[in-house]
Amino acid sequence: MAEQGAAVRAAGRRLMRRGAQGVRRTVARRKRLLAYVAILGPGMITANAGNDAGGIATFASVGADFGYSLLWLLIPITISLGIVQEMCARMGAVTGKGLADLIRERFGVRWTALIMLALLIANAGVTVSEFVGIAAASELFGVSHYVSVPLSAILIWFLIVKGSYKKVERVFLLMSLVFLGYIVSAFLSRPDWSAVAVGMVRPEFKLEYAFLFTFVAVIGTTISPYMQVYVQSSVVEKGVTPDDYGKTKLDVWVGTIFALLIVFFIIVSTAATLHKSGIQITSAADAAHALRPLAGRYAQTLFGLGLFGASMLAAGVLPLATAYSISEALGFEKGISRSFREAPIFLGTFTFLVAVGAAIAIVPNLPLIRVLLVTQVINGLLLPIVLFAVLRLVNNREVMGRYVNGPIYNAAAWLTAIVVTILSLLYILITLFPTIFGHR
């Protein structure tokens, strides 16, 4: 009996040790998760803001027009976007300065003024399109755009002007959750997963106007100049340092992968329904309308909610990115946590863009296509300049010290910049001279 009692006590002690070890492992996992959540923000917000109203319309058109055949493009785009965003986030953590600030210091006032003027014009035009996206999404649910657009503008303005950086970041991260609706929407569309797999691994390319235009538009709408400005400035305002940059780097790559995963599901849902039925669309709202008879009311609702959330997120991030860049370029005080008295140029620029964007968006018979055409061309010209400026800065040891790019990473970064530059210029040529590419 004594031996049995000793064996039981020994077994009990072993179970207690295992239990204690399990608790310690669980606590350690929770601490790691909380540490990541604490640093989560700039990368996730920036990458998802790229999936704005224009982006969703572009990706929905890809699925509707070309089915699954362009899915393979998402793999190199994910790598390229992650590389570009990571370099800017690293510069913010190492230097404690925004991108426009570094450009002014290293390249002079004239270049900075030219870049900032182009960025202001381009971002103003795209901000209008975000409020148009809000209008289109709200009307899917029977709410007049004369009500939804002004209310959304006031809500975004109040959040930024009256909130702190932490509060704004949390709200932006919550807005990013609406993109999960596209995942459900894709499954409701019942895609051919074997065809999806083939589209992911078998590249297809055609020298045709429609294909080239769509191909380059996907690149242009995924990697935009304002995204580089915002991610670097938000890393600076968040107070990230080189010591804790590892978590921000993870945030950048997780945000990039999540954002491109959402693009994947948008293309899959429209390829499975609209392409199969031969339906062509010109906007994200068209895609939502068309999904209802093909994939059901819930698919339309989820697509519409995604459009609204995406437009709200970008309508906040775009003016903020512009306000950051203008303030940095001119050497003025900046920051979401600042008051109007402390940062009048920063908050004044933000207020101006939100007010003008919302006001223009409710103008009847707005020639939005022309507005977007001009802004896309400006963005196409601006992107190569920004990318090459980023590469020169991130490889400057006076600026970055030991945090410059490594040889392999640098080769991938330069290849990304060169390819994106060629595609941006090609997009401009296709847009301005369509007859050269056989489009009449």
The answer to whether 135 touches 303, Cβ cutoff 8 Å, is no
Rounded CA separation 343/335 (Å): 7
Stated pTM of the model: 0.82
What pLDDT does residue 153 have? 93
pLDDT band at residue 9 under the 50/70/90 scheme: low
φ and ψ at residue 296, rounded to 5 degrees: 105, 165
Answer whether residue 147 is part of any domain: yes
Q: Work out the widest C-alpha separation in the chain, in whole angstroms.
A: 97
Q: What is the pLDDT of residues 188-223, one digit of tens each?
A: 888 889 999 999 988 887 777 777 777 777 877 788
Over residues 71-114, the pLDDT tens digits come to 999 999 899 889 999 999 999 999 998 888 898 888 888 888 88
Does residue 10 form part of some domain?
Answer: no
pLDDT of residue 416: 85
Which CATH number is 430's domain given?
Answer: 1.20.1740.10
The domain tally of the chain equals 1
pLDDT in tens, 343-396: 889 899 999 999 999 998 888 876 655 566 566 667 767 788 888 888 999 999
Q: Is residue 22 part of a domain?
A: no
What is the pLDDT confidence band of residue 440, given thresholds at 50, 70 and 90?
Answer: low
What's the chain's average pLDDT?
81
Tell me, yes or no, whether 26 lies in a domain: no
Amino acid 5: pLDDT: 58
Query: Which pLDDT belongs to residue 193?
Result: 92
The reply to whether 19 falls in a domain is no
Residue 31 lies in a domain: no
In a domain, 72, yes or no: yes
Q: Which domain holds residue 48?
A: 40-437
Instruction: With respect to residue 33, please indicate whether it lies within any of the assigned structural domains.
Output: no
